[in-house]
Structure 1
Amino acid sequence: MNHRPTPADVWLERAQQRLLAGDASRAHTLLVQALAEHPDSGALQFALAGLQRQAGDAVAADAQLEDLLSREPDHLAAALQLARSLRGQGRLLAAGALLRRAFAHAPAEVERRIDAIELLDDGGRQQDAMALCEQAFAAGLDDPRLHVHAAALAAQLGRFEVAREHYETVLARSRHAADWHVPLGLSSLQRYRSTDHPDFARFQHWLERDDLAPYPRSSLLFALGKAFDDVGEIERAADLLREANAIMHSQLRWQRKAWRRGVEMRLGRGPLPDPALAPPAWTPVFIVGMPRAGSTLLAERLARHPQVRHRGELPWLPVLASRVGAASGDAGMVAAMRDAAGSYARQLLQDDTPVGWYVDKQPHNFLHVDLILALFPNARIIHCRREARDNALSLWMQSFHPGSQDFAYDLGDIATVMRDARRMMAHWQARYPHAVRTVDYEALVTEPDACVGSLARWLGLPEATPHTSADTAALSTASLWQARQPVYRSSVERWRRYAPVMPELERLRAD
């Protein structure tokens, strides 16, 4: 009597039942048996890869997904899961190539394409993310959400006219433009010269809507405030920005006491245990300090050297610091530190052409300087410092993604973080004088070549001809257009323009 194979979907159901019962081992066995009967079942292979990853066997899971994609190149769920794994390994070049191939086989897919675009954008692969947008447009997809992503990506890549074209498409085809923060995106693409520009009328028209949620309304106010600042109408700009900040401050409720407790804990902490890690063959460079204090300008200038790779604001160090802090005892902490060093190095090095110096410009890494130097004894810390009132005003005038700079919507909170950042950096400077160097924003914008040249010598960079342009590198910063312009001194003592309508700025002389 011939044995009739059990259908693949029955095997899947049985495995799912075992999982629901808490028996992952039996579920794994069932899927292995099922694949012996149905070796070409993508559903079974995808399920087994998920179980293997859940069990901590990422190598086996990735191998399953790679085999699955070799047979089903349009299996987008598998491609996204493998791309996330590659990103965790720092293999972002491979992740970008994988997703571009996968979506070439599924040109009409929108939802997962957006997931892929966001994954690549978050990983610093804006060129690949933009390619996914352009691939979709070439295939006839015209979803306004794709145009929103394309506009933001084009702006990061310095393609401002392309960005405006995509924003204009959204404006013409969707009533959700304000909800998707298109006004804020438009305002970041240029410096306005006159209130005759059509964006002014657009922004003011949208402000009359009574159905805007708080966050879209605040971003619209920030956009219009920036526009009025550009044309020199300071009082009008201040009124709009004050309302925008009040909305965000009420929505986010940043906890000043919790911040202060964290700072005091770090200042009072003794030396970390020595993980006995040898310095790597490359040099990690951390640009830290208050946001809006020149870190983007400095990183962009350093990255013109052919031996420097600018990685943007990597999110990994705070996560790894939390893991180290949660470890038990010195032995557990040393093990966690060794793991953290490997994890962070993979994200910094990635899988592109190796160089000798790598830059992470996450400003709040000033909280973790002791961990940085324990993991990487040859690391260099550059502290960007700016005149307090200029720095506070620049922060207060920006709209940030929730969760990134939630203190920036109240001048009192800004003053607290600014004072604590300087306390922390003075503490680290005293403990690690060989590894920490301060750069003043005012010196950077006044004499950028001399300032960066001095830093290059301190970092040990060899003499080299700089790249003719750094504009091919993507920028993710609160002022995309400004960061691409020549260096001007107009931002020095800018606070004086606002002092007549914001007398509270005068109280921020906390140098």
Structure 2
Amino acid sequence: MTLDPTPALSALRSGDFRTVQKLARRALKLAKGDPGWLNLAAIAESGLGRPKAALPHFQLALKLAPDFHDARRNLAQTLVILGRLDEAERHLQQLTGTNPQDAEAWALLSQAAMGRGDGDAALAAADRYVDLRPGQARGLMLRATLHGRLGDEAAALADLQQAQMAEPDNVDLLIALSLPLARADHPGAAIDVARRAVELAPRHIPARLTLAMRHVEQGDSDAAKAMYHRVLEIAPDQAEALEQLAHLNDAAENQRLAPQVQTALKTAEAGSLDKAQLHFALARIAAQSADDDGLARNLTRANATMARLMPYDAGADTRLSEALMARFAPGADCDGPGDGPAPFYVLGLPRSGTSLTEAVLGAHPVVHPLGERIAPGRLLAPLIDGGLPFDAQARAAFRKGEAASLPALPEGTRFYTDKMPENYRLVGFLLAARGDARVIHLRRDPRDVALSLWQAHLAGSALNYAYDLGAMAHRFNLYARMMAHWRAIFPDRILDLPYEELVADVTRASQRLAEWLGLVWDPEMARPERSTSQILTLSASQLRQPVHTRSVGKWRKHEAMLAPFIAGLDPGLWPELGQSGI
């Protein structure tokens, strides 16, 4: 005797996994070896958040019915969820080999390949999915995600825009589209799609968080705060909204916010990102209240959590840095000026004044600020990973790819800025490829930089060293070594600009910049706070204020907290240490 699966399938379609589980258990008591019910039982376990418990059911179903295609695909999906990617790929390759038209298997194969870092295989599988489901938003969104992870922002944006034509009211798609539009220098469109997502789904928290961040980037703090408050009306313990509000609020507002943050902290999962975000929020509130003990305590807890979530590999970092420096020596081959607008690379440790410097340069009528560009690193990655030469052909290919990756620039643009922090590793490539490229290098007291980083919550794994004071000192020393190396090879094409001089007299510093770059100084360069450009970094709200010196030397007040970092700095690489008697 067997049960009719129709009620279970109906419950499955409505997402009622508990009912599916009950019906499957009842059916399996009557027919223990029924592969169909084993498959449904496994789906129910996975849907209820127990993917490990699902595996034996899938495996038994396949043992009893090796050609049960759906069960094999479901097993592969569960293995992807569990991170067992090699096993998942074996099942998926079997599926796509026997049925090349199985679009969902190709989608899973793409996810598995990307999970183990094989971008080419992931894209090939995603392309196959798109071919099998032409014009379908899901496949285009999957491929756009892969393009984005690989740094091909133009291709990601093109896929998302094509997907939007197919499904203009897809909320998840609108959210995914917002940031690539902002990065492509279309801030109005980025706001519009995020606003549309909120209109379609007013209680959709990711939609509201996305719109709030676009407001921050545009300098509209009041609109951002209103949106974060709306998120908290829906979910009072939402950690990201609480953290962002803490950074936007004044001291009085944060005193009213503090109890809500404390309440959320009590229920946040130990060791989670939410827990770290809430400690960062409390650290900000403590700083505004001059509560140094509370500041140090919450920063220590927040950063310790983040360091566990995103560990730093000092050995790998050292090996990569040394390999990149070994590629270039004095007298290295360099090409002449390129075609079209020339790049100004604004370099410096994160929080060293690069955003401010870009705003100063971007105020000039012939300079267009483009923020942190992924394209150069993406274009150079295959060459670096493969140990290939950066010969004349490779340099020409890089220039062509870089030009193709640029957004449409305003008429009259002669130069553009790129302030991607990781470009400091790539200086040899960037300057060798184009003779009219220049580097503006911000130097700031490393202790002030460390204090700022220790208080920040920075996105992305590239900055994972910032969550451990010893790791931060190690990375800073590597950075200083690399910049000294590049300065020795390209002495006339790198300008060192002390942050302390920039904020002390922005008029004089901007005049120096203009003269070195061959520009006629424009008075607007001395008023970067009046810039209307979007700012896609943590500095967004700070740059809307007039230039000030309040952060210079601030590390002295927190010297004890920074002691492990200061002890790890190499005095031979940091002359600033000797200047202050340390």
Same fold (TM over 0.5): yes
3-state SS of 2:248 partner: coil
Change (3 A) 1:506 1:408: closer
Inter-CA distance 329–152: structure 2 relative to 1 (3 Å threshold)? closer
Out of 244, 255, 263, the residue aligned to residue 205 of structure 1 is 263
Q: Does 1:488 align with 2:488?
A: no
Does residue 223 in structure 1 map to residue 284 in structure 2? Answer: no
Partners of 2:269 and 2:275 within 8 A in 1? no
Letter of the 1:369 partner, please give it.
Answer: V
Question: Match of 1:434, as an amino acid?
Answer: D
SS of corresponding position for 2:541:
helix
**2:345 partner SS:** strand
1:390 aligns with 2:470: no
Indicate if the aligned counterparts of 1:275 and 1:338 stay in contact, CA closer than 8 A.
no
Question: What is the aligned counterpart of 1:143 among 204, 209, 212?
Answer: 204
Hey, what does 1:317 align to over in structure 2?
376
Using the TM superposition, give the Cα deviation of residue 280 of structure 1 relative to its aligned residue in structure 2, in angstroms: 2.7
1:361 aligns to what?
419
Deviations 1:94-128 (A, max 9, x none): 9599579738x733x21222222243345454432
Deviation at 1:293, TM superposition (A): 0.6
Are 1:249 and 2:307 an aligned pair?
yes
Structure in which a larger fraction of residues adopt helix? 2
Aligned to 2:226: 165
Deviation at 1:278, TM superposition (A): 4.3
Question: Offset at 1:410?
Answer: 1.3
**Matching of residue 294 in structure 1 with residue 346 in structure 2:** no
Provide Cα deviations, 1:351-397, integer angstroms capped at 9, x if missing partner.
23241110000122111111001111111001111112111111111
Quote the Cα distance in structure 1 between the aligned partners of 2:146 and 2:566: 50
Residues of 1 paired with 2:367 and 2:156: CA distance?
A: 17
Match of 1:131 among 192, 197, 212: 192
Q: Deviations over 1:455-493 (max 9, x none)?
A: 011111234463886442111222432222111111001
Counterparts in 2 of 1:90-109, with a 5 A limit? 98=161, 102=165, 106-107=168-169, 109=170
Once the two structures are superposed, residues 155-191 of structure 1 have per-residue CA deviations (whole angstroms, 9 ceiling, x without a partner) of: 111111111111111111136612xx2222112224x
Q: 2:532 aligns with which of 466, 472, 478?
A: 472
Look at both structures and tell me which one has the larger radius of gyration over its CA atoms: 2
User: Percent identity of the aligned residues?
Assistant: 25
The one-letter amino acid paired with 1:296 is S
Tell me if 1:459 matches 2:521: no
**Equivalent residue, structure 1, for 2:4:** none
> Conserved in 1, the CA contact under 8 Å of 2:171 and 2:201?
no
Question: Aligned partner of 1:285: which letter?
Answer: F
Note if contact 2:451-2:562 (Cα within 8 Å) is conserved in structure 1.
no
Distance (Å, rounded) in 2 between the aligned partners of 1:353 and 1:93: 22
Other structure's SS at 1:438 match: strand
Tell me the residue number matched to 1:44: none
- Asked whether the 8 Å contact 1:277–1:376 carries over to 2, the reply is yes
Q: In the alignment, what sits opposite 1:6? A: none
Does the alignment pair 1:350 with 2:407?
A: yes
Question: Which secondary structure does the structure 1 equivalent of 2:278 belong to?
Answer: helix
**Partner Cα separation in structure 2 for residue 86 and residue 403 of structure 1:** 18
* Residue deviations 1:195-248 (CA, integer Å, cap 9, x gap): 862221111111111535521111211121022112211121011001111111
1:175-214 alignment runs, 5 A limit: 177-178=238-239, 181-190=240-249, 192-194=250-252, 197-211=255-269, 214=272
Q: Is the 8 A contact 1:194 1:231 kept in 2?
A: no
CA contact (8 A) 1:97 1:128 kept: no
CA 1:361–1:335: 2 relative to 1, 3 Å:
same
Runs of at least 5 residues in structure 1 that lack an aligned partner in the other structure: 1-16, 28-52, 70-74
Determine the C-alpha separation between the residues in 2 that align with 1:96 and 1:303.
Answer: 30
Mean CA deviation greater in 492-501 or 80-89? 80-89
Secondary structure of the 1:353 match is coil
Distance 1:186 1:390 in 2: 24
- For the residue of structure 1 that corresponds to 2:416, the secondary structure is strand
Letter in 2 for 1:112: L
Amino acid at match of 1:106: P
Contact 1:312/1:362 (CA < 8 Å) preserved in 2? yes
Partner secondary structure for residue 434 of structure 1: coil
Correspondence for 1:3: none
Cα distance between partner residues in 2 of 1:215 and 1:86 = 26
Kept in 1: contact 2:314–2:471 (CA 8 A): yes
Where relative contact order (Cα < 8 A, 6+ residues apart) is larger, the structure is 1
Which deviates further from its counterpart, 464-473 or 228-237? Answer: 464-473
CA deviation profile, 1:230-270 (whole Å, cap 9, x unmatched): 22111210110011111111222201111112222233334
- Return closer, same or farther for 1:502/1:78 CA change in 2, 3 Å cut-off: closer
AA aligned opposite 1:291: P
Identify the residue that residue 46 of structure 2 maps to in structure 1: none
Cα distance in 1 for residues equivalent to 2:542 and 2:197: 30
- Alignment partner of 1:155 out of 216, 236, 242: 216
- How many Å apart are 1:433 and its aligned residue? 1.2
The alignment yields a C-alpha RMSD, in angstroms, of 3.8
Q: Report if aligned partners of 2:261, 2:278 keep a CA contact under 8 Å in 1.
A: yes
Deviation at 1:411, TM superposition (A): 1.4
Aligned partner letter, 1:480: A
Q: Could you say what secondary structure the match of 1:208 adopts?
A: helix
- Residue 92 of structure 1: how far off its partner (Å): 9.3
What's the counterpart of residue 341 of structure 1?
399
Q: Distance in 2 between matches of 1:464 and 1:97?
A: 39
Aligned-partner Cα distance in 2 for 1:302–1:55: 43
Q: Provide the TM-score with structure 1 as the length reference.
A: 0.78
Equivalence for 2:486:
428
Indicate the SS of the match to 1:433. Answer: coil
Question: What is the letter of the counterpart of residue 156 of structure 1?
Answer: E
Q: Would the aligned equivalents of 2:216 and 2:540 in 1 still touch at CA under 8 Å?
A: yes
- Aligned equivalent of 1:120: 181
Instruction: Decide whether the 8 Å contact of 2:126 with 2:139 is kept in 1.
Output: no
Change (3 A) 1:273 1:320: farther
